[in-house]
């Protein structure tokens, strides 16, 4: 499987994503500068955390208008996996690939620590290696991770089982404790906690490994087994 890690000006978790895909999982991976508008050779797209364009206007707002996001959108429309983490989640909401928005944390402070998450949906291509209701530990590192959407959208997320992860102890004020959601088609996941920083026990948790392994297994079943 071949991963593209999109690098925007201000990205700072791109190397973590690359390390997880390439060095921990042993898959092919490239760091792809945002001005590269050709993603046809990649099987999965990873949008890393950081401060794209210095969080100018709103976090992820400028990156969402870049040409590479047109390619990401086409990639998603083909049913291929797209994972946006932290700033990557913000880019996905700003670009309309996921509903809602990420606002300032309720305490108006940047937070960086481990958080316990609940796996709410283990039937997505990103979570089949987890158990429903399982508690996992991923680090967070954000100042604008407070997930918000209107009541109608919130009802749709619940009805369609699009809430993938919730916080056990909501640190930022997110509606319904939401830590990660997926699109209706099930191939675009956005989340604020960092699974790529939870791939080695030395760092406090390796619970993130199974997220990447889920993607790889489900991709192979779909695109290799059926080829």
Give the residue numbers marked as catalytic. 86, 194, 196
116 CB-contact burial (10 Å; exposed 0-12 / middle 13-18 / buried 19+):
middle
Q: Are the CB atoms for 118 and 165 separated by under 8 Å?
A: yes
Rounded-to-integer distance, Cα 183 and Cα 213, Å:
20
Phi, psi of 216 (to 5 degrees): -65, -45
Rounded-to-integer distance, Cα 56 and Cα 40, Å:
29
Output the six-digit token pair for 216: 């790889």
C-alpha dihedral over 166, 105, 69, 2, to 10 degrees?
-50
Rounded-to-integer distance, Cα 76 and Cα 54, Å:
26
Output the six-digit token pair for 43: 């099987």
């Amino acid at each position: 499987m071949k991963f593209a890690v999109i690098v925007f000006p201000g990205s700072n978790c791109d190397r973590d994503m690359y390390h997880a895909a390439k060095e921990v999982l042993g898959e092919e991976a490239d760091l792809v500068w945002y001005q590269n508008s050709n993603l046809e050779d990649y099987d999965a797209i990873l949008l890393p955390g950081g401060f794209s364009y210095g969080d100018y206007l709103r976090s992820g707002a400028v990156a969402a208008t870049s040409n590479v996001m047109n390619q990401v959108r086409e990639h998603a429309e083909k049913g291929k996996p797209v994972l946006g983490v932290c700033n990557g989640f913000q880019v996905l909401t700003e670009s309309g690939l996921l509903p809602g928005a990420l606002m300032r944390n309720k305490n108006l402070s940047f937070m960086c620590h481990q958080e316990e998450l609940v796996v709410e949906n283990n039937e997505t291509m990103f979570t089949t290696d987890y158990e429903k209701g399982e508690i996992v530990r991923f680090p967070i590192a954000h100042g604008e991770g407070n997930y918000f959407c209107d009541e109608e959208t919130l009802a749709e997320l619940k009805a369609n089982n699009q809430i993938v992860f919730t916080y056990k102890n909501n640190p930022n004020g997110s509606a319904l404790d939401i830590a990660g959601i997926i699109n209706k088609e099930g191939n675009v996941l956005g989340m604020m906690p960092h699974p790529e920083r939870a791939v080695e026990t030395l760092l406090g948790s390796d619970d993130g490994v199974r997220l990447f392994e889920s993607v790889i297994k489900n991709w192979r079943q779909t695109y290799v087994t059926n080829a």
